[in-house]
Amino acid sequence: MTATATTAGSSGLAVATRALHKRYGPRVALAGLDLSVPNGVVYGFLGPNGAGKTTTMRLLTGLIHADSGTIELLGRPFGQGDRRRLFEVGALIEAPAFYPFLSGRENLRALAATGAPTPWSCVDELLEVVGLTERARDRVSTYSLGMKQRLGIAAALLSDPKLLLLDEPANGLDPAGIVAMRDTLRNLASAGKTVFVSSHILGEVRQLADIVGIIAQGRLVREGPIEELLTSRGRVRVRVKQDEVGAALARLEGGGFRAVQGSTSDDGWLSVAVEGDRASEINRSLAQAGIYASALTAETDLESVFLELTGATPTGDGQRSFGSAGATTVAGQTSGQDPQ
Amino acid sequence: MRLFVAGLRKLVRRPASYVSVGLLAGLLSLILIAVGATAKQTAERPNGAAALLLVTFPQAYTLILSFILGLGGLIAVIYGAAVAGSEWNWGTLKAAVARGESRSRYALLTFASVALLIGVGLVLAFLVGTLMAVVGASLAGISTSGLSNSDALGRLPDQFGRSWIAVVEEGALGFTVATLARSQLAGIGAGIALYFGEQFASIFLPDIVKYLPFNAATAVVENAGTGGGGIIQRLEPGLALWVVLAWLFGSLFVAALFTERADISG
């Protein structure tokens, strides 16, 4: 990793990567990643399995070294000799890591002895924040996955970081835990801290993030405020009789809409790339040609945007295949772990 | 300092620490009591008198240390590998590095706490061994007047210090092997294989093997590790100590360098 001087235009950013490349043998994990994460926001980092999310997180925390490209953390270059930059960063990378034979409290104290000087007094406060005070004396080996995840979030907050990097923080959390985590992260952002969240759970990111970055095959394919992204990438699905599909497509194309037919199993469904609030215009246009829609749905959701940008396509049987890595998702949530 | 103290706290709470010391002290006790309890039969066997030296003071001091150097060395290899390997397996090294901790400092201070705990373990095992040798001597009807032999007691600190360095070196080898393997199990397995491989190789290549880490470690205490019916060649204790120190610092250097440069994933 080369640490060069701050590039123009990257000031005011909590995280900035430029032309970041990383290879694992013959496999390219990152192919010129350019991220720009402003200060004081919750940034949702999305991508299918194998897209390079975890590799990015590892690079941002100095666990691995980039083949080329630059990283800036909190406005200053971050290279191999700049480990102290991480004193202002809290991270939860992949699964939370603890000594199974120590209690939750002892684990946090052991971790507090590393990196930035951290007083023990904050350990009990953080255990309370994540709701583990009652189990603080129990060995971590007796904790559930969700409890370990909460302890991991407490560990990430240990040094009161300005930048928080969380890899799938909702993993294993129950609904109440997810709500509590979301509130905690929003509060941190309100207090001026930057929260960088990598996640597969699109609904969660939509509720939490101000800005999203979508990565596919090691490159950033889209980055921006979430509302702007949804507005620009809206989609309306309209269903007509099977024998009227051709006429409907021609009518919509003639009216300036970009429409495509769904797969044959879609049984008369057409997909129109347009903002959701223009669904009535499509209906009117078809009706004027004597074609009456039997169903009309506006899909300005993050899932559609994500699928479109990452090259994933619906298969029509309720599952979706991700062309970039071959993993599958159901109801917008991917299964399995990042292989990198 | 806080990292070293934190490392000690972790090891004190770690079940493997108790198991290691317990195993060493337990086996030592078993042998000494068995020798004492069967003294009559033992004395009638060939080399029986030599076996009774285990419970005859002051010679017992050196022989107990010799036993600790042998079995204790193997346990130290396993313990060092377990500590280093678990840092990779459990992801605790990853967590420390992601907080901005220096990789090599973390590895070296983790080993420093292992080394200190090995010292404590050796003292405990030696005390238990001495106590059990006294019990064995009583069972065998052998006088314990040599227990307070001033010459033997005077040599003990030097012998003990050498033994500690030797066992720490063996622990460092396990620590380094597990670091290179980035795995607890692989480290323990490879450490044990090296230990026994070296003992086996000493039959065929005694002139070379005497400089290897485990053989050199056994030679640091005078009169220790004289088993093998005279087949195994040993270094002179003074030279052995230098060889052991070279292996100790060399292996720690390799462990620190690898930790500093490695990609930490998983």
Q: What is the pLDDT of residue B240?
A: 92
Domain assignment present for A2: no
Region of residue A22 (phi > 0: left; psi between -120 and 50: alpha; otherwise: beta): beta
A308 shares a domain with A178: no
A125 shares a domain with A184: yes
The sign of the torsion formed by the CA atoms of A157, A175, A213, A65 equals: positive
3-class SS of residue A42: strand
For every residue of A287-332, DSSP letters joined together read HHTT---SEEEE--SHHHHHHHHHT-EE-SSSEEE-TTT--EEETT
How large is the greatest C-alpha to C-alpha distance in chain B, in angstroms? 65
A195 φ, ψ to 5°?
-120, 120
Among all chains, which residue has been given the structure tokens 């407490």?
A154
Residues from chain A contacting residue B86 (CB–CB below 8 Å)? 99
Residues from chain B contacting residue A148 (CB–CB below 8 Å)? none
A243 shares a domain with A211: no
Q: What is the 3-state secondary structure (H, E, C) of chain B?
A: CHHHHHHHHHHHHCHHHHHHHHHHHHHHHHHHHHHHHCHHHHHHCCCHHHHHHHHCCCHHHHHHHHHHHHHHHHHHHHHHHHHHHHHHHCCHHHHHHHCCCCHHHHHHHHHHHHHHHHHHHHHHHHHHHHHHHHHHHHHHCCCCHHHHCHHHHHHHHHHHHHHHHHHHHHHHHHHHHHHHHCCHHHHHHHHHHHHHHHHHHHHHCHHHHCCCHHHHHHCCCCCCCCCCCCCCCCCCHHHHHHHHHHHHHHHHHHHHHHHHHCCCCC
3-class SS of residue A22: strand
A313 shares a domain with A209: no
Q: Which residues contact B177 (CB under 8 A, 6 or more apart)?
A: B81, B187, B190, B191, B194
Of B5, B13, B91, the CB nearest to A97: B91
Domain assignment present for A278: yes
Say whether A95 and B15 touch across the interface (CB within 8 A).
no
Rounded to the nearest 10 degrees, how much is the dihedral formed by the CA atoms of A212, A214, A215, A219? -90
A7 φ, ψ to 5°?
-80, 155
Residues from chain A contacting residue B92 (CB–CB below 8 Å)? 97-99, 110
Closest-CA distance, B111 to chain A, in angstroms, reads 15
A202 shares a domain with A68: yes
Is the CB of residue A305 less than 8 Å from the CB of residue A230? Answer: yes
pLDDT digits (tens, 9 = 90+) for B67-100: 888 889 999 999 999 999 999 999 999 999 999 9
Closest-CA distance, B228 to chain A, in angstroms, reads 41
Give the domain range for residue A71. Answer: 13-224
A57 shares a domain with A148: yes
A285 shares a domain with A190: no
Q: What is the pLDDT of residue A262?
A: 65
Residues from chain A contacting residue B96 (CB–CB below 8 Å)? 111, 114-115
Is the CB of residue B156 less than 8 Å from the CB of residue B235? Answer: no
CA atoms within 13 A on the CB side of B65: 28
Residue of higher predicted confidence among A319 and B188: B188
Residues from chain B contacting residue A63 (CB–CB below 8 Å)? 94, 97-98, 263-265
Per-domain boundaries in chain B = 2-144+151-261
Which H or E element spans position A284? helix A279-288
Burial of A32 (0-12, 13-18, 19+ CB in 10 A): middle
Alpha-carbon B80 to chain mean position: 10
Of B2, B14, B97, the CB nearest to A63: B97
Q: How far apart are CA B103 and CA B257, in angstroms?
A: 9
Smallest CA–CA distance from B8 into chain A, residue: A110
A177 shares a domain with A148: yes
Q: CATH no. for residue A240?
A: 3.30.70.120
Of A65, A94, A114, the CB nearest to B99: A114
Is the pLDDT assigned to residue B59 strictly greater than 80? yes
Residues from chain B contacting residue A102 (CB–CB below 8 Å)? 10, 13
Q: Which residues contact B158 (CB under 8 A, 6 or more apart)?
A: none
* Positions of chain A with pLDDT under 70: 1-11, 231-233, 262-266, 276, 299-304, 311-340
Q: How far apart are CA B171 and CA A221, in angstroms?
A: 50
Is the CB of residue B165 less than 8 Å from the CB of residue B73? Answer: no
Q: Specify the amino acid at residue B195.
A: Y
Structurally, how many domains does chain A consist of? 2
- Strand ranges inside chain A, DSSP E: 13-24, 27-38, 42-46, 68-73, 76-77, 89-92, 163-167, 194-199, 211-216, 219-225, 236-239, 259-261, 269-272, 295-298, 313-314, 319-321, 328-330, 333-334
Question: Chain B neighbours among A 114-143 (CB < 8 Å)?
Answer: 114-117
A157 shares a domain with A119: yes
| pTM for the model | 0.81
Establish if A155 touches chain B: CB-CB under 8 angstroms. Answer: yes
Q: How far apart are CA A323 and CA A327, in angstroms?
A: 8
Closest-CA distance, A58 to chain B, in angstroms, reads 8
Say whether A114 and B101 touch across the interface (CB within 8 A).
yes
Domain assignment present for A339: no
Domain assignment present for A300: yes
Q: What is the pLDDT of residue A6?
A: 38
Of A173, A202, A224, which residue sits at a domain end?
Answer: A224
CB atoms within 10 A of CB A277: 12
Domain assignment present for A318: yes
Please give the structure tokens belonging to residue A287.
């009706």
Say whether A106 and B264 touch across the interface (CB within 8 A).
no
Q: How far apart are CA B36 and CA B30, in angstroms?
A: 10
Give, in order, the Cα–Cα distances in Å from B229 to each of A81, A130, B127, B177, B232. Answer: 55, 64, 28, 31, 8
Q: CATH no. for residue A19?
A: 3.40.50.300
Of A180, A209, A224, which residue sits at a domain end?
Answer: A224
3-class SS of residue A12: coil
A262 shares a domain with A114: no
Say whether B264 and A83 touch across the interface (CB within 8 A).
no
Cis peptide before B58 (omega within 30 of 0): yes
Smallest CA–CA distance from A90 into chain B, residue: B99
Of A171, A191, A224, which residue sits at a domain end?
Answer: A224
pLDDT digits (tens, 9 = 90+) for A57-74: 999 999 999 999 999 999
Please give the structure tokens belonging to residue A173.
């959390």
Give me the total of CB pairs closer than 8 Å, taking one residue from chain A and one from chain B.
93
3-class SS of residue A51: coil
Q: What's the whole-number average pLDDT of chain B?
A: 88
Give me the percent of chain B exceeding a pLDDT of 90: 54
Domain assignment present for A171: yes
Q: What is the pLDDT of residue B23?
A: 93
- Rounded to the nearest 5 degrees, what angle is found at the Cα of A119, between the Cα atoms of A114 and A121? 130
Residue in B4, B14, B89, B99 to test binding to A, most A beta-carbons within 10 Å: B99
Is the CB of residue A39 less than 8 Å from the CB of residue A192? Answer: yes
Is the CB of residue A167 less than 8 Å from the CB of residue A157? Answer: no
What's the mean pLDDT in B165-188? 93
What's the mean pLDDT in B136-150? 86
Residues from chain A contacting residue B265 (CB–CB below 8 Å)? 58, 63-64, 340
Give, in order, the Cα–Cα distances in Å from A40 to each of A72, A196, A201, A203. Answer: 16, 10, 22, 21
What ipTM was predicted for this assembly? 0.86
Of B14, B92, B98, the CB nearest to A93: B98
